[in-house]
Amino acid sequence: MPVTLKELAALAQVHPSTVSRVANHDPKLRIAPPTRLRIEALLRETEYRPNGVARGLKLRQTLVLAVVIPDITNPFFAALFRGVEDAASPRGYNVLLCNTDGSPARQRSHLQSLHARRVDGVIMASSFLKDPTVRWLRHQAIPYVLVNRFSDEGHDPFVGSDDLVGGRLATEHLVELGHRRIGHLAGKLSVSTGMMRRRGYLAALSEQGLTPEARLVVESGYTEEGGARAAERLLALADRPTAIFAVTDMTAVGAFGVARRMGLRIPEDLAIVGYNDIPLATRMVPSLTTVHVPIHDFGAAAARLLLEQIATGEPSRRRVVFNPELIVRGSTVAGAGSPLSPHLMPALAIE
C-alpha cells in the first residue's frame, strides 16, 4: 500500500500539513533546513506523490498547463516542450501539447478548447504579430506566456532571444569572411522571429557598407521544404550569393540539400549559417554554423513565469530575453570544429 501523509508526518515528527506543503513546493513555507531535508529524504525514499485531484479541488485548479506550438516535427519545439515539462512537473503540473501547423484558425480552436477544459495556463510558441488570439487570452484573464515569438511587444509576458542581435551576428560573420553577396532565407514578416532576424540581417549589411538587394531575400518559412524551395530560387540567380543566412536551422538543412544537388561545396562555394542550434546542427557534414539560443531554458523560464502568475493571480508583463551566441562550425569555415560547451551570455531580464 502507498504510504499516507499521516504516516510520513509521524516518521518526520511534524504535522501532516507540513509534509504536504513540502511535497507541493509551497514557497510560503518557513521551516528549519534540517527538518525540510528530513522530509524531502522521506519523500524520495517512499516515492510519495501528492494527491493531485485533492490539491486541485482545494486550489480550484486543474493542475494542467498547455503548450501551443506551430510544428511538432521541428526539434526546436521538442526541446522547448521538455524545458516546460521539466520545470512544471516538480510542481505537480501535467502539460498538454497542441500543434497548430502555423494556422491561426487552428490556434484559435485549440485555445478555445483549452479554455473550456479549464487549463490553468497556456504557453504559446505559435503567436503572430498583433495576434487577436493573444488579446483574447488577455480578455479572458487566462494566465499565459509567449515564448520565442512575441505578439504585442511590451504587453505580453515573453521568453526568447534577442533576434535582432542574432540576425546581425550571423550576417556580420559572413561579411567578415569576405562574402559580399549574402542571401537570406527569411521568415514571415507576420512573425516576430522572421521580422527581427531579417532586420538584423539588413542592419548588418548596411553597417558593413553593403547595399541590401531585395532579390537576395526570399521568404522560406521555417521548414526544411521551404528552405529548399527558397534556396533553389537564390542559387538559380546568374550572380548567385556566395553565402546564405537561414532564419532557422531547419531551413538551412533545406539549403544544404539544394547545394549538394547542384554540386556546390560547403563552405568553399557556398557558406551557410542557421539559427537555433538544434542537435541536428552538429551531425550535418560539414557541421552547421548557427546562432545558439538556450531552447530548454526558454521552456523552463516560460513555465516559471506562468506558474508565478497562477500562484499570485496577477497578470504579468515580464520579459526574459537571452543573448544569442554565434557558434562557428564547418559550414562557414572549413575544418572548424563543434565546441562541446559553448559559452552563453547571461539572460537579460527586462521587467
Note the pLDDT of residue 60: 53
Note the pLDDT of residue 271: 98
Place 280 in a pLDDT band, splitting at 50, 70 and 90.
very high
Note the pLDDT of residue 269: 96
Provide the residue ranges of all domains of the chain, joining segments of one domain with +: 5-50, 59-161+295-321, 163-293+326-343
Residue 56 in this model has a pLDDT that exceeds 60: no
Q: Mean pLDDT for the chain?
A: 89
d(CA 282, CA 75): 13
Identify which has the larger pLDDT, 155 or 79. Answer: 79
Dihedral, 135, 140, 146, 150 alpha carbons, nearest 10: 10
Fold of 5-50: 434 Repressor (Amino-terminal Domain) (1.10.260)
pLDDT tens-digit map of 86-119? 999 988 899 999 999 889 999 999 998 888 888 9
pLDDT tens-digit map of 148-188? 999 987 789 999 999 999 999 999 999 999 999 999 999 99
Note the pLDDT of residue 44: 84
Instruction: List the single range of 125-129, 198-202, 345-349 with lowest mean pLDDT.
Output: 345-349
Cell of 66: 498547455
Mean pLDDT throughout 21-44? 84
Angstrom CA distances, 319 to 120, 126, 152, 181, stand at 20, 17, 12, 36
Fold of 59-161+295-321: Rossmann fold (3.40.50)
Note the pLDDT of residue 347: 46
Note the pLDDT of residue 257: 96
Identical fold at 59-161+295-321 and 163-293+326-343? yes
Q: Which CATH class for the 163-293+326-343 domain?
A: alpha beta
Greatest CA separation found in the chain? 80
Q: How many CA atoms lie within 13 A of 198 on its CB side?
A: 19
45 CB neighbour count, 10 Å cutoff: 11
Place 51 in a pLDDT band, splitting at 50, 70 and 90.
low
Percent of the chain with pLDDT over 70: 91
Note the pLDDT of residue 16: 85
Q: What's 318's DSSP letter?
A: -
d(CA 178, CA 119): 52
235: amino acid identity, one letter: L
315: amino acid identity, one letter: P
Percent of the chain with pLDDT over 90: 68
Note the pLDDT of residue 62: 82
d(CA 5, CA 316): 35
d(CA 132, CA 328): 39
Note the pLDDT of residue 12: 85
Place 345 in a pLDDT band, splitting at 50, 70 and 90.
very low
Nearest CA-CA partner of 152 in 110, 124, 180, 175: 124
Buried b (16+ CB within 10 A) or exposed e, 263-300: ebebbeebbbbbbbbbebbbebebbbbbbbbbbebbbb
Note the pLDDT of residue 99: 93
Mean pLDDT throughout 203-223? 95
Which DSSP string corresponds to 198-236?
HHHHHHHHHHTTPPP-GGGEEE-TTSHHHHHHHHHHHHT
Instruction: List the single range of 70-79, 227-236, 251-260, 330-339 with lowest mean pLDDT.
Output: 330-339
Note the pLDDT of residue 275: 98
Note the pLDDT of residue 102: 86
Tell me the CA end-to-end span of the chain in Å, nearest whole number: 48
Contacts of 32 (CB under 8 A, 6+ apart): none
The residue assigned the cell 532557422 is: 248
Mean pLDDT throughout 47-60? 54
